[in-house]
C-alpha cells in the first residue's frame, strides 16, 4: 500500500530516469533542443529538482544518503548532456566552416597581363638609346609615293629597287598634296629613308631624328626574309658632321644595345642617297669571332646600312649642300631582336604564337 504522506522510495524512479537518458540525449540533434532537454532533466521543475527540494524534510542520515544518490544520478546525466553538447557544437562548427570556406592561404589569381611584342620593345629600346642623347622621334606613312621613297633619295627611275619584283605598288592615291609630278606612283615604303626627305622638307637644320617603323618588300617569308619587317632610320644634319661622328654614334648604339663587349666594323657599301656608304657589322654575340651558325661563320653580323647624306638629297629637300653635312643610317630592328635573343627564325615574330612571345616579357 502506498503511503500517501511519504513518497515511495525515489531511487527506483531516478534509476529508471537515468536509464532513459542515453537514448533521449542521443536523439537530440541540435544545441537548442539539447538545452530544453537539460532543463527538463536537471532544472528546478525536473524530477531531480523536485526531489532536491524535498530533501530538507528528511532526517539527516536519509538526507545525506538520498542526496548523494541524487547527485550521482545528476552527475551522470550532466556528463551525457555535456558530451552530446560538445559533439553537436563541433558538428555545427564544422558545417559552418564548410559552408563559408575561404582558404586565405591560397595565392590570389593574378590575371595574365599583356606585354609589348618583342619587336615593339626592340624598336623602343633602340629609339630610347637615341632620345637619351638628344634625338627626336619622327614617324611617317607606311603607304608612300615614289618621290619620297625613291626620287628624293637620289634613286634613279631606272634603279632595279623600283621594279615590281622588289617593291609593292598600291592602286590608291591618298597623297594629293604630296604629288611632285603627274605620274606619281603609290607604294608600300621599302625602307624608313623616305622620312629623311619628308622631315628635312618640313624642318630647318640642325636635324637629329630617329624613325622607327614597318617597311615592306616583295619577299617570301622564310627564316631570314619577310615581306614586312622593321627598321629604325637615323638622320643627323648639322655644321661639320663627319664620318667619324657616324662611326662613333653607331658604335655607341651597339654597345648600349648589346653590351660593352660588342665591337662594330664598317665595310664599304653603296646606297644612292649616301656617299660614302657603308654597312655596319657587330661582333657576333654567340661565338666571339670563332665563327658559328648565327654569323654564318664570319664572326660578324650585318645590322645597318649607313653613310654621309648625299648632296643630291639635300638639294631635293631644299637644304644647302655646301653649308651642311650629315649622316644617315637604317638599322634592321628585327635583326637586332634576333641577335640579342638568339632567335634564328624571323617567322617567330610574325606568327603570333603566344608560347614564343611570352618568353620575352
Ligand atoms: N635604307 C637603306 C636600306 O633599307 C638603309 C640606309 C639608310 C642606308 C640610311 C644608308 C642610309 O637598306
What does the DSSP assignment read for 11-23?
HHHHHHHHHHHHH
Q: Within a 10 A sphere around the Cβ of 286, how many other Cβ atoms?
A: 16
Mean pLDDT of 168-177: 69
Atom of ligand 1 nearest to the CA of 235: 9
Q: How many A from CA of 151 to the centre of ligand 1?
A: 14
DSSP 85: H
Whole-number Å distance between alpha carbons of 97 and 91: 10
* Whole-number Å distance between alpha carbons of 32 and 275: 99
| HSE-CB of 71 using CA atoms within 13 angstroms | 7
Instruction: Collect all residues with Cβ–Cβ distance below 8 Å to 308 and sequence separation of at least 6.
Output: 241, 243, 246, 274, 275, 276, 325, 326, 327, 328
Question: How confident is residue 101, by pLDDT bands cut at 50, 70 and 90?
Answer: confident
pLDDT of residue 182: 55
Which residue, chain included where needed, has cell 598634296?
Answer: 177
> What confidence score (pLDDT) does residue 237 get?
98
What is the per-residue pLDDT for 312?
97
* Residue 243 exposure: Cα atoms within 13 Å on the Cβ side: 14
- The cell for 282 is 657587330
Q: Ligand 1 within 6 A of 194 CB?
A: no
148 CA from centroid of ligand 1 (Å):
13
Does 12 have pLDDT greater than 50? Answer: yes
Ligand 1 touching residue 191 (CB < 6 A): yes
Distance CA 240, CA 167 (A): 35
Q: How far apart are CA 254 and CA 134, in angstroms?
A: 17
The residue that leads in pLDDT, 178 or 250, is 250
Report whether residue 330 contacts ligand 1, using a CB cutoff of 6 Å: yes
Which single residue is written with the C-alpha cell 527538463?
40
CA neighbours closer than 13 Å in the CB half-sphere of residue 204: 0
Nearest protein Cα to ligand 1, atom 10: 306
Query: What tens digit of pLDDT does each residue of 187-220 get?
Result: 999 999 999 999 999 999 999 999 999 999 999 9
Q: How far apart are CA 139 and CA 195, in angstroms?
A: 7
Q: Which residue has the higher pLDDT, 193 or 283?
A: 193
Show the cell assigned to 184. 606619281
Ligand 1 centre and the CA of 341: distance in Å? 24
Q: What is the pLDDT of residue 203?
A: 98
Tell me, using a 6 A CB cutoff, whether residue 332 lines ligand 1.
no
Return the number of other C-beta atoms located less than 10 Å from residue 126's C-beta. Answer: 23
**The pLDDT of residue 87 is above 60:** yes
- Looking from the CA of residue 327, the nearest atom of ligand 1 is 11
What SS3 class is residue 310? coil
State the cell numbers at 288.
666571339
Q: Is the CB of 328 under 6 A from ligand 1?
A: yes
Using the mean position of ligand 1's atoms as its centre, give its distance from the Cα of residue 326 in Å. Answer: 14
Q: What does the pLDDT read at residue 247?
A: 96
Question: What pLDDT sits at residue 292?
Answer: 82
Mutate to test the pocket of ligand 1, among 241, 271, 327, 329 (most ligand atoms within 8 A of CB): 271
Q: Given a cut of 80, is residue 288 above it in pLDDT? A: no
Assess whether pLDDT exceeds 90 at residue 360: no
d(CA 60, CA 66): 10
The C-alpha cell that represents 125 in the structure block:
629600346
In short, whether 151's Cβ falls inside 6 Å of ligand 1 is no
Does residue 7 surpass a pLDDT of 80? Answer: no
CA distance 248 to 308: 13
Alpha helices in the chain (DSSP H): 10-27, 31-42, 47-54, 60-99, 118-131, 146-149, 194-202, 243-258, 311-317, 333-341, 354-357
pLDDT digits (tens, 9 = 90+) for 22-59: 999 999 999 999 999 999 999 889 888 888 888 888 88
Region of residue 142 (phi > 0: left; psi between -120 and 50: alpha; otherwise: beta): alpha
Alpha carbon 168 to its chain's center: 35
Query: Which atom of ligand 1 is the closest one to the Cα of 330?
Result: 7
What's the 306 CA to ligand 1 centre distance in angstroms? 6
Q: Closest Cα to residue 21, out of 71, 98, 105, 81?
A: 81
pLDDT attached to residue 1? 46
CA 65 from chain centre, in angstroms, equals: 83
Mean pLDDT across the chain: 90
- Of the candidates 251, 235, 213, 247, the one whose C-alpha atom is nearest the C-alpha of residue 332 is 213
Residue 2's pLDDT is: 47
**How many angstroms separate the CA atoms of 155 and 191, rounded?**
13
Q: What does the pLDDT average to over 223-239?
A: 94
**pLDDT at 3 > cutoff 60:** no
| Section 166-189 average pLDDT | 73
| Tens digit of each residue's pLDDT (9 = 90 or more) over 302-355 | 999 999 999 999 999 999 999 999 999 999 999 999 888 888 888 999 988 888
**Which pLDDT score, from 0 to 100, does residue 233 have?**
98
Q: Which of 153, 245, 266, 273 to mutate to test the pocket of ligand 1 (most atoms within 8 A of CB)?
A: 273
Residue to mutate, 155, 192, 193, 332, ligand 1, most ligand atoms under 8 Å from C-beta: 193
Q: Which helix (H) or strand (E) holds 91?
A: helix 60-99
Ligand 1 near 209 CB (within 6 A): no
- pLDDT tens per residue, range 110-167: 888 888 999 999 999 999 999 999 999 999 999 999 999 999 999 999 998 888 889 9
Q: How confident is the model at residue 173, as a pLDDT?
A: 57
Which residue from 189, 191, 207, 190 is spatially nearest to 199, judged by alpha carbons? 207
pLDDT of res. 6: 53
Amino acid at each position: 500500500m502506498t503511503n500517501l504522506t511519504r513518497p515511495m522510495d525515489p531511487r527506483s524512479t531516478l534509476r529508471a530516469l537515468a536509464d532513459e537518458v542515453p537514448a533521449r540525449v542521443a536523439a537530440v540533434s541540435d544545441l537548442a533542443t539539447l538545452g530544453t532537454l537539460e532543463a527538463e532533466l536537471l532544472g528546478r521543475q525536473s524530477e531531480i529538482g523536485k526531489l532536491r527540494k524535498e530533501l530538507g524534510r528528511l532526517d539527516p542520515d536519509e538526507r545525506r544518503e538520498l542526496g548523494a544518490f541524487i547527485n550521482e544520478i545528476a552527475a551522470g546525466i550532466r556528463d551525457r548532456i555535456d558530451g552530446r553538447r560538445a559533439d553537436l557544437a563541433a558538428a555545427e562548427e564544422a558545417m559552418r566552416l564548410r559552408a563559408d570556406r575561404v582558404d586565405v592561404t591560397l595565392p590570389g589569381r593574378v590575371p595574365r597581363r599583356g606585354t609589348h611584342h618583342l619587336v615593339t620593345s626592340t624598336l623602343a629600346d633602340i629609339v630610347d638609346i637615341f632620345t637619351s642623347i638628344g634625338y627626336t622621334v619622327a614617324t611617317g606613312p607606311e603607304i608612300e609615293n615614289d618621290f619620297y621613297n625613291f626620287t628624293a633619295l637620289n634613286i634613279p627611275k631606272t634603279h632595279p629597287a623600283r621594279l615590281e619584283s622588289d617593291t609593292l605598288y598600291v592602286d590608291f592615291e591618298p597623297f594629293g598634296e604630296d604629288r611632285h609630278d603627274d605620274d606619281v606612283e603609290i607604294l608600300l615604303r621599302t625602307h624608313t629613308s623616305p622620312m629623311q626627305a619628308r622631315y628635312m622638307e618640313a624642318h630647318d637644320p640642325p636635324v637629329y631624328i630617329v624613325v622607327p617603323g614597318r617597311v615592306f618588300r616583295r619577299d617570301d617569308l622564310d627564316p631570314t626574309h619577310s615581306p614586312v619587317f622593321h627598321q629604325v632610320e637615323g638622320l643627323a644634319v648639322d655644321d661639320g658632321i663627319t664620318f667619324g661622328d657616324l662611326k662613333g654614334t653607331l658604335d655607341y648604339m651597339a654597345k648600349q644595345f648589346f653590351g660593352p663587349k660588342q665591337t662594330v666594323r664598317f665595310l664599304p657599301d653603296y646606297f644612292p642617297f649616301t656617299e660614302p656608304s657603308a654597312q655596319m657589322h657587330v661582333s657576333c654575340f654567340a661565338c666571339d669571332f670563332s665563327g658559328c651558325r648565327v654569323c654564318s661563320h664570319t664572326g660578324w653580323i650585318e645590322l645597318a646600312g649607313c653613310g654621309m647624306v648625299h648632296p643630291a638629297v639635300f638639294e631635293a629637300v631644299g637644304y644647302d649642300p655646301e653649308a651642311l653635312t650629315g649622316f644617315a643610317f637604317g638599322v634592321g630592328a628585327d635583326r637586332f631582336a634576333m641577335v640579342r635573343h638568339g632567335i634564328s627564325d624571323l617567322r617567330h615574330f610574325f606568327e603570333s604564337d603566344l608560347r614564343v612571345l611570352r618568353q620575352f616579357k
